[in-house]
């Protein structure tokens, strides 16, 4: 059987080296490319058509979720195995909804990563870390607060809030009315369950939304 072909995407050379070393210890996996940015990752996947893309969420240019989205819409057959330092709910939800085959956190034991790569390569879906699984339980278990998901526009506004912008600034930046920004603020507060822009910003930073 031919080996599983893997592309690594992570902005830290050390992390890439670590994973590459890890995967190449086993005979049935071959690392066929490394990318340090989202753009590179997309290009590489197109060029070398790997079986699995090990995709870090914290890339400098494009967000991991966007990379996944682009691959999904381009009907790429690559299996995406997301890798993140954080177990933040928003990312996980988004990723899995975008059809990622799995989601691992970096605290994971090295052997688990090998297992996961092998698993998704052979078609397993929903390969997630134990801690992620625990978190997903809470979503299913009653507190399925639909509101958690911000719209694209709301996320954009929130990003500016975190950047310390005033409603006026944000309105100018987005080219829409300040009144509309106020509307978004209200929606954001309601969805995040907070009562002020400061709390919203703190929430966003803590959850690693940006």
- Taking CB under 8 A as the binding criterion, the range among 45-53, 63-71, 159-167, 175-183 that sits at the site for a second copy is 159-167
DSSP secondary structure of 122-152: TT---EE-HHHHHHHHHHHSS---GGGPPPH
Residues 191/147, Cβ–Cβ less than 8 Å = yes
Per DSSP, the three-state class of 31 is: strand
- The one of a second copy, DNA, none whose footprint includes residue 136, by CB under 5 to 8 A per kind, is none
- Taking CB under 8 A as the binding criterion, the range among 16-24, 37-45, 88-96, 132-140 that sits at the site for a second copy is 16-24
- Taking CB under 8 A as the binding criterion, the range among 17-25, 133-141, 148-156, 170-178 that sits at the site for a second copy is 17-25
Q: Does 16 bind a second copy (CB under 8 A)?
A: yes
Q: Does 205 bind DNA (CB under 7 A)?
A: no
How far apart CA 86 and CA 127 sit, in angstroms, is 16
Who contacts 139 (Cβ-Cβ below 8 Å, separation ≥6)?
89, 93
Which of 9, 41, 113, 181 binds a second copy (CB under 8 A)? It is: 113
Q: Does 194 bind a second copy (CB under 8 A)?
A: yes
Which of 61, 97, 107, 186 binds a second copy (CB under 8 A)? It is: 107
| Among 52, 61, 68, CA closest to 6 | 52
Residue 85's alpha-carbon distances to 10, 15, 16, 42, 205, in angstroms, are 11, 11, 14, 21, 14
Per DSSP, the three-state class of 72 is: helix
Site for a second copy in 24-83 (CB under 8 A): none
Task: Please give the residue ranges that form the binding site for a second copy (CB under 8 A).
Answer: 11-19, 21-22, 85, 106-110, 113, 161-162, 164, 166, 194-199, 201-202, 205-206
Task: Please give the residue ranges that form the binding site for DNA (CB under 7 A).
Answer: 149, 151-154, 166-168, 174, 176-180, 182-186, 189, 195-198
């Amino acid at each position: 059987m031919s080996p599983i072909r893997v592309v690594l995407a992570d902005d830290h050379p050390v992390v890439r080296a670590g994973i590459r070393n890890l995967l190449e210890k086993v005979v049935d996996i071959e690392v066929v490319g490394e990318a340090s940015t989202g753009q590179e990752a997309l290009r590489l996947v197109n060029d070398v058509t790997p079986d699995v893309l090990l995709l870090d969420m914290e890339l400098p240019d494009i967000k991991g979720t966007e990379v996944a989205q682009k691959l999904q819409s381009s009907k790429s057959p690559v299996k995406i195995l997301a890798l993140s330092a954080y177990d933040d709910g928003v990312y996980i939800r988004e990723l899995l909804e975008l059809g990622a085959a799995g989601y691992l956190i970096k605290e994971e034991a090295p052997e688990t990563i090998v297992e996961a790569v092998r698993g998704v390569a052979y078609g397993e879906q929903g390969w997630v870390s134990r801690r992620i699984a625990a978190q997903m339980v809470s979503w299913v278990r009653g507190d399925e607060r639909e509101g958690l998901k911000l719209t694209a526009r709301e996320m954009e506004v929130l990003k500016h809030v975190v950047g310390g912008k005033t409603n006026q600034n944000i309105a100018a930046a987005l080219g829409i009315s300040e009144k509309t920004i106020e509307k978004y603020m209200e929606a954001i507060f309601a969805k995040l369950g907070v009562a002020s822009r400061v709390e919203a910003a703190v929430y966003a930073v803590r959850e690693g939304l940006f």
